[in-house]
Structure 1
């Protein structure tokens, strides 16, 4: 018997999730100083956390286990979202909550409108569920009829939606969501980018107990490296999620930073406004080159259709210059680049490089 014989055979065809790399690794690969990198490939908040948030994380009691009940964190999040603390579950990033939900529902299949965040498919497959991908319409709106048919025909009890969608940036239409909430399925709406635009769907939970909303501190609060996110749902569903989560799934530094971010959210709102303004400026300047067409976005990134040249080659040429953007090697996105909104200097470097490639 070999080691392979002892492992799950259904993971042989698992499509790896392609993560982005941190500054130091990328700098070493490209042979450029870290300070010269323009990192616009991961939708990170390049302004970084507030000093008060950094200080809170640094002051955490690292020798003490976290609170398994997440009492303070759930209460603070509930105040922020305007729900009851019993509706909130925190996790090690939204990815942790995605995994918890899939394991809780244990569906035979998971329906995902694509293109979408790759972790839905990846974690579904790891959990033994079949990912059913439903192609979005040409304008990247949902094909509600196709999604309904997929749920009914496969017995899928779980649907993942993103609002605004990643990587396309367009918001979810409330009428689309309400049509899908009539299905016999848990509908998860990932609002990782909601602070940058769009209207939250959290109020719909009151009338739709099969709705779960995911949020994260990674983007708006610049805490991607600490991995802290949360879900909002009915109290009944939240209680079941709390039962099966790992007891200490949010570390003490992440909890302290998240609490501080919520306390200082008025100050962070100024950074969010700066990012939104830079998104609009970047869109205008890049579109002005004439060969990159922006899609409307209410997130902290923009998806551009590349005309007249291969998008893959543009991404590679930018990379050689130390400018990182996201290229997706898949048919429905092959002619596109996703570019995060950074700081003014990041936009200037991007536009200069694109002008050189024109």
Structure 2
């Protein structure tokens, strides 16, 4: 028997999600020592975790299974976002919750305003939900009329929104959200970058039970490598998510780190403020070069339109010197690069290299 005959044929043309590579692999590919890499391609917090978080990780009981009910973690997160613990569900990064939500609803289609985070499309395809990609307006606001039409015509029961949006950095317009919340669909607002700017929509859950908010510890707390995120919803929806999740989907190190990060959120807030300040310095430095136009952003990255040269070539030149940025060249993002906000030394290295191009 052919193995291929046992596999799903609908995944033959699946466009794989392309993740970033680890530092040691990148260093070997480029031929630059790890310590010389300037990693500005994945929106990570280059300051890293708070020292107390590292201590909490070291004390985690690795020989014991984690709590499948997530009681301590859900209580800590609830105190952080000012909701009840039974409204919270934690997962292996926000990606885990995206997957769970699609599994829970099992929609025939999902609506995805683009450009945006690629995991929505990827996970929808895996779950046999048709991704309906609705282009954003030229300023990257939502095309609400087109989204409404797509929902009514397709029967889509999930709309994925990112606030602030990745990779454009703009926040979700409250009037747009208000209109979409009245649709017969689950409105999933991904607030992965909300700690860096923008107003959270979590308070709207009390009025709209079809609203789900996703958050993560990857960005603000510097825990991208531990993979811990969470959803906030009505307690009814959260109970369904708890029922279908993997029992031990958050490991003990991630749980300990997340709780410690919340306990030390005031000190971590100083790092967030430093990143926001550096974002504005980086914006000014990029704009001063003359061939890069950084878009307004309330996230920890800047999307830049490249004029008069190839974004691909610019990114490749930077990469050869150990400076990593993300470039885009597709219909909805032509000739652009996205630059994560790092530390002051990272900004200095980037700007110096760009001046050499």
Which category of TM-score, normalised to the shorter sequence, fits these structures? over 0.9
Deviation at 1:327, TM superposition (A): 1.1
Could you say what the CA RMSD is over the residues aligned between the two structures, in angstroms? 0.6
CA distance in 1, matches of 2:51, 2:4: 49
- Scaled by the length of structure 2, what TM-score is found? 0.99
Matches for 1:154-169 after TM superposition, within 5 Å: 154-169=154-169
Contact 2:111 2:158 in 1 (8 A): yes
- How many residue pairs get aligned? The number is 357
Deviation at 1:329, TM superposition (A): 3.9
Alignment match, 1:247: 247
Q: SS at 1:278's partner residue?
A: helix
CA distance in 2, matches of 1:60, 1:332: 45
Deviation at 1:59, TM superposition (A): 1.1
Matches for 1:3-152 after TM superposition, within 5 Å: 3-152=3-152
Alignment match, 1:185: 185
Alignment match, 1:172: 172
- Scaled by the length of structure 1, what TM-score is found? 0.99
CA distance in 2, matches of 1:295, 1:4: 46
CA distance in 1, matches of 2:304, 2:297: 10
CA distance in 2, matches of 1:239, 1:329: 41
Deviation at 1:328, TM superposition (A): 2.4
Contact 1:312 1:334 in 2 (8 A): no
**Structure 2 unaligned regions, length at least 5:** none
Contact 2:311 2:328 in 1 (8 A): no
CA distance in 2, matches of 1:51, 1:218: 16
Alignment match, 2:234: 234
Deviations 1:299-351 (A, max 9, x none): 00000000001111111111111100011242211311000000000000100
Deviation at 1:2, TM superposition (A): 1.5
Alignment match, 1:290: 290
Deviations 1:27-80 (A, max 9, x none): 011111001100000000000001110110111000100000000000000000
Contact 2:303 2:337 in 1 (8 A): yes
CA distance in 2, matches of 1:344, 1:97: 34
CA distance in 2, matches of 1:289, 1:269: 31
Contact 1:279 1:341 in 2 (8 A): yes
Contact 1:74 1:85 in 2 (8 A): yes
